[in-house]
Amino acid sequence: MKKQFLKLYSWVDDRVQFEDLIKFFSKKYVPVHRHSIWYYFGGVSVFLFIIQVVTGILLLFYYKGSADLAYESIQFIMSKVQFGWLVRSIHAWSANLFIFSLFIHMFSVYFEKSYRKPREMTWFSGMLMLFLALFFGFSGYLLPWNQLAFFATKVGTDIAGAIPVIGEPIKIFLRGGDDVTGATLSRFFGFHVALLPGIFTILLGLHLILVQRQGMSEPLETKESKMVPLKKMPFFPNFFLRDLLLWLLVLNLLAVLAVFFPAELGLKADLFGVAPAGIKPEWYFLFMFQTLKYFPSHIVLFEGEIVGILLFSIAGILWLLVPFWDRKSSRGQRNLKINYLGIFAVIFIIVLTTLGWLS
């Protein structure tokens, strides 16, 4: 048996040169220091993305993306399809964990200043993937075509529509008309299963190639303190096996969440119904939603909501462009202002999300 396997391996190796690949990964090293733990969240995010793709494909076998059939098809998946409930619940939970993991990964990169030269492109591709993941979540939320999803999409696209000049065309484009209808569902389905995965996969490929080319970034402080040289861990098998261990832990967590807190379906969307009381967006949009509530109706000549959206847009663009305006870090100097700003952002997101959750 072993002989047969080695023969087969040798046959494949002759054609794709596995040995080169193994040698490449064996020579790749990961720095070991007190912040090494954060390296793993990139891998966890990739793992969760893979789960998303696999469970998403399985759901596609039964899901029907039309206003008449979407809700019923999910109902069918949840009650009749073997393990359909598990696949959907894992898809829903891994989506949430994926975004959570991306946030951790993004903030760890930010606090480590790993975006500094020469990794600006890695940062951009990562940030773009974070935005795409948020849009993934927003588009996927509507697909069950239930009451909550319907009204959350209505509110969400209304907020997008409030942006001056470009807001209205964006809203019409997203909705496929003036209102949230079956046309919105069709295009959200298209975004969710074709457009977004396509773009995301290209960006992920680029991101991983860049990581391979540039290696893992070392924290600034270890470089600057000129301490004893850092220990290094071979990527394969040491780091890879640790990654695998964490993935298994995440898989366990997903299984527990899916069984004890299966994804709910709620009531079918009623286009002429009344919005359920206390409607809220998904948790990752909650801090923005809650902040907009605190804005007064008018600030000088502008509507408070528009000012809020503009401020969030500016903050997002500034965050994206941090490698360009944080010159000190690029020069290898400590920049505490960046840390303070990051801490403020984290506290702001946690506090506003909590307030939104409790309200």
Partner 1 sequence: MKNIFRICIIFLFLYFFSASEGYAAGDMCFSCHSDMGSAPAGLFKNDIHHLAGLSCSDCHGGDNKSEDMDEAMDKKKGFIGIPKGNQISDICSRCHSDASFISKYNKHLSTDQLTLLKNSVHGKLSLNGTDRIVQCITCHNAHGIVSVKNSQSPVYPTNIPQTCNKCHGNAAFMKSYNPEIAVDQLQKYRTSEHGILNAKGDPKPAQCVSCHGSHNILSAKDVRSSVYATNIPKTCSTCHSNKQYMEQYGIPTDQYDKYIASAHGKALLEKDDLSAPTCNNCHGNHGAVPPGITSISKVCGTCHVLNADLFSGSPHKQVFDEKNYPECVTCHGKHDIASVTDNLLGTGAGAVCSKCHSQSENVKGYLVAAQMKQWLDSLTNRENLASSLIFEAEQKGMEVEEEKFELRSIHQAKIETRTIVHSFNKDKFKEVVDKGFASSKDVIASAQGAIDEYYFRRIGLGVSVLIISFLIVILFFYIRKIEKQNPLKD
Q: Given the rule CB under 8 A, which residues bind partner 1? A: 32, 75, 78-79, 85-86, 228-233, 237-238, 241-242, 244-245, 248-249, 251-252, 255-256, 259, 262, 265
Least separation in angstroms between residue 79's CB and partner 1 is: 4
Judged by CB, which is closer to partner 1: 118, or 237? 237
Contact between 112 and 216 (Cβ < 8 Å): no
Judged by CB, which is closer to partner 1: 132, or 250? 250
Judged by CB, which is closer to partner 1: 30, or 133? 30
Least separation in angstroms between residue 242's CB and partner 1 is: 6
- Report residue 107: phi and psi, to 5°: -70, -35
Least separation in angstroms between residue 13's CB and partner 1 is: 23
Judged by CB, which is closer to partner 1: 267, or 351? 267
**In the block, which residue shows the tokens 């059939």?**
69
Least separation in angstroms between residue 228's CB and partner 1 is: 7
Judged by CB, which is closer to partner 1: 102, or 250? 250
The whole-angstrom separation of Cα 147 and Cα 164 is 29
Judged by CB, which is closer to partner 1: 4, or 225? 225
**Ramachandran bin of 73, using left for φ above 0, alpha for ψ from -120 to 50, beta for the remaining angles:** alpha
Judged by CB, which is closer to partner 1: 183, or 244? 244
Least separation in angstroms between residue 238's CB and partner 1 is: 7
Least separation in angstroms between residue 59's CB and partner 1 is: 15
Maximum CA extent, the chain: 80
Judged by CB, which is closer to partner 1: 253, or 350? 253
Contact between 99 and 200 (Cβ < 8 Å): no
Least separation in angstroms between residue 236's CB and partner 1 is: 11
Least separation in angstroms between residue 101's CB and partner 1 is: 18
Extract the tokens encoding 344. 């403020």
Contact between 291 and 307 (Cβ < 8 Å): no
